[in-house]
Amino acid sequence: MKKYNIKSSGLIWILLIFIAINGCKKDLNLVSQDSITDATFWKTAGDFKLAANNMYRGLDGFGSEDTESDIAFSFPNSVSNGNLQPSETSGQWTNSYNYIRSANNIIEKGAGNTDAEIKKYVAEAKFFRAWYYWKLFRIYGGVPLITRVLAADDPALFTPRSSRTETVDLILKDLSEASNDLPVQSDLSAPDIGRITKGAALALTSRVALFEGTWEKYRGDANAAKYLDAAILAAQGIINSGVYSLYSGSGPQSYRYLFIEAGDDSRESILDRRYARNIFGQDAPYAYDSDGYNPTRKMADLYLDKNGLPISSPGTVFKGYGTFVSEFQDRDPRMTMTMIVPGTLTNRVFFPVTKIANWPDQPQRNFNTGYILYKYMSEDPVANNSGRNGDASLFDFDRHLIRYAEVLLIYAEAVYEKNGFIGDNDLNISINKLRDRVNMPHLTNSFVNTNNLNMQAEIRRERTVELSLEGFRYDDLRRWKIAETELKADIKGIKIAGTEWAGKTPYSDPSYLTKVDANGFLIAETNRRFDAGKNYLQPLPTKEVAFYSANGKKLEQNPGW
C-alpha cells in the first residue's frame, strides 16, 4: 500500500503553511503565544518539510493530455485549432507565481543553514521554483523573474520580462543547485517515497535543455548546442546511475499496466502526482470515458508494423483499414495498449464489474474519432466507477509526470540533434530499451538505410508513440517548428467508406458520407489554423499587462497578440 505523508497531512498542514507564510512581519518583533508565526516557525527541519509539502499540490493531475495537439481529440480545442484568444487571467500564470513565491520564502528562510535536512527541503524549493518557471516558460517564453519574497509596495512587483535565455538559465541553475542537496531515489524511506530527488532534478534538466536546444536549433540560434549538451549530460547521468529502470512487472502487457495501479512506485517513476484512495483521489477514468477523449488518425498511423516498418513503407505487413480490427493487427503492441481493439471485452466506466464489448457507438459516450482510449483505464471496479456519484476519492493510481522512458528518449534525440547522427550503441541504451519491453525490432542505422527511412523521423516517432497521450506533443511540435504544418491539418478518425464501419450504426447513417474526406476517413474537425507569427507562444494575461501599464510600467506582450 502506498504511504505518502504529503497525501495524508490533510487540511491541518495547509492551514499551518498559510499562517506561517503569511504571518507577522519581522519588524513587529512580536511572538504570538497561541498561533504560528515567522518568529516561532522555521526552527526545525520539520517546519521546512511542512512548508515544502504545499508546493506538491500544484503538480499536474490527470486531464485531457495532448488535446492541444493533433494526436488526441475530445472537443475543438482553441489552442490546437488556432482560435485561442487573449484572456484577462490565466490559472497557469497566477498559480505558478503563487508557488514561486512559496519557494522563494523557503529558500530565503533556509539561506545559510547548514543542517542537512533543512538544506534538503530548500533544495526541494529550488526544484519547484524551476518547475513552476518551466510551466510558464514553455508557453510564454521569457517571463518576469522574481527570486525573493516581495512586499505589496516593492517596486520589483513590476519586474520586466526576462529574455528566453535568462529565464531558461535560471531554471537550469536552480535545478543544478537543487541536485546537490537532494537525496537519491533509492535512499528515500517509505514515508517519503514520492518526494523530489536528485533524479527528478536531473530529469527535468534534460527535459528543459532538450526543449530549448531544439527550439533554438530550428530558429537558427547559435546557443542551441550548449543546451543539447546539457540535455545529453543530464540524461546520461540518470542512465549511468542505475537507480531507474523500465517497468516490466506485468510481462508483455507492462506498458499498459504501467499507467494504472500496477505501475505505481515502480523504478520507472521519477516524479509522479500521487493519489490515494479515500485521501486524495481523482475522477480521471470517468472523464476520459464519458467525455470522449480519444486518439486520432494521426496517432493511429504513427504505430509501426510488427517488423518495425511504417505502414506506408513497401514491404509492410499492415493489413489496411477494411475491417473493424485489421488496422490493429501486426502492429507495435503499444497501439493496442493505448487504444482498444473494437469489440474487445473490457471493464470500463458505467460497466466497472461486468466486461463489455467496446464499440464507438454507445450513446452515453462521445467517441468522436471512432477510436477508444485504453491507456489509463483501470481494471479495478471501484476505481473505474470513480466520479460517477461525485466520489473521486476512490480513484487512486498515480499520474507519471517524469518517467525513465522519457529520459531515454531525450538522450537519443539530443545526441542526434547535436551531432546529426546517432550510433547503434547509443540507440541500444535508449530507444531499443523501449522496444525490448514491447518486443519490437531494434532501430539501427542499417535498418534505417536499408529501408530508406529517416533517423530523425524515427526518433521522433518513437517519442510520440511511447509518450502518447501524456501531454508532450504540443511542446514537441512547437520546438521542432512544425506546428505550422501539423496543427493546420484536419483531425481525422476511423476509415468509414469502403470498410465494415460503413455498415455499423451510427456510421451507416448516410449523413456520415458528408463527414469523411476523399479517402473515406472520418473528419472530426476541419478549418484549423495556425499563425506562425504568433501561435508558437501564447498571450500573456491581459490583466497582468494592464496592471503594469496602470502603474507606469510595461509588461511586453508576446508577438502578434
What predicted TM-score, i.e. pTM, was given to this entire model? Answer: 0.92
pLDDT of residue 419: 98
Confirm if 430 and 412 have CB atoms less than 8 A apart: yes
3-state secondary structure of 66: coil
**Average pLDDT estimate for 332-339:** 98
Run of H or E residues at 408 = helix 404-419
Confidence of residue 19 (pLDDT cuts 50, 70, 90): very low
373 forms bridges with which residues in the sheet? 339
- Chain center to CA of 14: 26
Q: At what angle do helices 198-217 and 164-181 cross, to 10 degrees?
A: 160
d(CA 214, CA 220): 10
pLDDT exceeds 90 at position 381: no
For residue 16, pLDDT beyond 70: no
Find the length of the chain: 561
- Residue 6 phi/psi, 5-degree rounding, is -70, -30
Lowest mean pLDDT among 6-15, 387-396, 500-509, 544-553: 6-15
Strand (E) positions, 256-350?
Answer: 269-273, 294-295, 345-348
Instruction: Please report the pLDDT score of residue 156 as a whole number.
Output: 94
C-alpha cell at 557: 506582450
Question: What residues form DSSP beta bridges with 492?
Answer: 523
The rounded percent of the chain whose pLDDT value lies above 70 is: 88
At 362 the pLDDT is 64
Alpha helices in 10-88 (DSSP H): 10-21, 45-53
Query: Which residues on adjacent β-strands are paired with residue 493?
Result: none
Phi, psi of 395 (to 5 degrees): -85, 125
For 78-93, the pLDDT digits (tens) are 999 999 999 999 999 9
Instruction: For the chain, state the CA radius of gyration.
Output: 24
What is the identity of the amino acid at 205? T
Res 283: pLDDT: 57
The one-character DSSP state at 443 is P
Decide if 129 contacts 158 (C-beta within 8 A). Answer: no
When pLDDT is averaged across residues 38-56 and rounded to a whole number, the result is: 92
Q: What is the pLDDT of residue 3?
A: 41
Q: pLDDT by residue (tens digit) across 382-432? A: 777 766 555 655 667 899 999 999 999 999 999 999 999 999 999 999 999
Among all chains, which residue has been given the C-alpha cell 522574481?
A: 146
Range with the poorest average pLDDT among 150-164, 290-304, 398-412: 290-304
Mean per-residue pLDDT, 59-65: 87
Q: What is the dihedral of CA 121, 127, 128, 134, to 10 degrees?
A: 170
Strand partners, 339: 373
Q: Give the pLDDT confidence score for residue 15 in this predicted structure.
A: 35
User: Mean pLDDT over all residues of the chain?
Assistant: 90
**Residue 424: which of 403, 454, 455, 461 has the closest Cα?**
455
Strand partners, 272: 400
Nine-digit cell string for 466: 511511447
C-alpha cell of residue 455: 533517423
Burial of 293-310, coded b for 16+ CB within 10 Å and e otherwise, reads bbbbbbbbebbbbbebbb
Query: How does pLDDT run across 167-219, given as a tens digit for each residue?
Result: 999 999 999 999 999 999 999 999 999 999 999 999 999 999 999 999 999 99
